[in-house]
């Protein structure tokens, strides 16, 4: 999808940071907690093929003056549909800042023109199933030193069986089970998927992630 059009700002306050994205193939950076939460969700959402933070600039007007505005994240799903995200705290939205409203209107109009979706994300994303799922998977996706041979061995199990009970591969279903770490890594990469989605217990079935 490309690289950010601007660098993240160095701040003395607030939250900023970065992590390596397997999906994007580089370090991705965030400038707030809500941006971090959003990037975590996109990183392990199997229906998101790629994403980019600070992806483009949009012209907007406010109070008779013109400016440019850089939304937080642009994602593309596996069907090619793009979504432009803005991550803001609920307290910021409650202020009803007219300049911020002008930026959102410009972003919405831009998305309408390009047949994209526009979504505003707040800290409520932490209450979502997607975030809970990301919280479980990400530590294993980022786990260093995993054996490619072991990953390949686990994937080979699905060549003869399309659905395998999670419990049969990971009897302990916790960090102490080596297969647990490897299996969640493969799920985080989007090679496998769990059913029911976002559930990892004795009733969970694992299968190869395939889409039409």
Question: In this structure, what CATH number is given to the domain that contains residue 50?
Answer: 3.40.1350.10
Decide if 204 is inside a domain: yes
Long-range interactions of 162-165: CB distance < 8 A, separation 24+: 162/207, 162/208, 163/195, 163/205, 163/206, 163/207, 164/205, 164/206, 164/207, 165/202, 165/204, 165/205, 165/206
Percent of the chain with pLDDT over 70: 95
Q: Is the pLDDT of residue 9 over 90?
A: no
Check pLDDT > 90 for residue 73. Answer: yes
**Same-domain pairing of 123 and 37:** yes
Q: Mark whether 30 and 83 lie in a shared domain.
A: yes
CA angle, 5 as apex, 66 and 141 as ends, to 5°?
A: 135
Q: Mark which of 81, 100, 127 sits at the end of a domain.
A: 127
Q: What is the pTM of this model?
A: 0.91
What whole-number distance in Å separates Cα of residue 56 and Cα of residue 70?
6
CATH at residue 173 = 1.10.10
Q: How many of the other CB atoms lie within 10 Å of CB of 123?
A: 15
Do both 93 and 37 map to the same domain? Answer: yes
In a domain, 98, yes or no: yes
Last residue of a domain, one of 99, 127, 155: 127
Owning domain of residue 177: 143-208
Residues 29, 115 within the same domain: yes
In a domain, 12, yes or no: no
């Amino acid at each position: 999808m490309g690289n950010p059009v601007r660098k993240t700002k160095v701040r003395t306050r607030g939250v900023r940071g970065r992590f390596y994205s397997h999906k994007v193939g580089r370090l991705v950076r965030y400038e707030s907690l809500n941006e971090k939460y959003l990037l975590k969700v996109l990183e392990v959402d199997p229906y998101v093929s790629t994403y980019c933070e600070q992806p483009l600039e949009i012209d907007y007007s406010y109070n008779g003056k013109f400016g440019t505005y850089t939304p937080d994240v642009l994602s593309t799903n596996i069907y090619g549909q793009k979504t432009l995200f803005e991550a803001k705290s609920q307290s910021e939205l409650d202020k009803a800042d007219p300049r911020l409203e002008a930026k959102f209107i410009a972003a919405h109009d831009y998305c309408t023109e390009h047949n994209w979706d526009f979504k505003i994300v707040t800290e409520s994303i932490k209450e979502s199933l997607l975030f809970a799922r990301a919280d479980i998977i990400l530590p294993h996706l980022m786990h260093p030193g995993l054996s490619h041979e072991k990953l390949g061995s686990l994937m080979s199990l699905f060549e003869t069986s399309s659905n395998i009970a999670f419990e049969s591969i990971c009897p302990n279903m916790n960090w102490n089970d080596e297969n647990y770490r490897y299996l969640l890594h493969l799920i985080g990469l989007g090679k496998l998927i769990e059913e029911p989605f976002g559930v990892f217990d004795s009733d969970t079935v694992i299968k190869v992630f395939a889409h039409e």
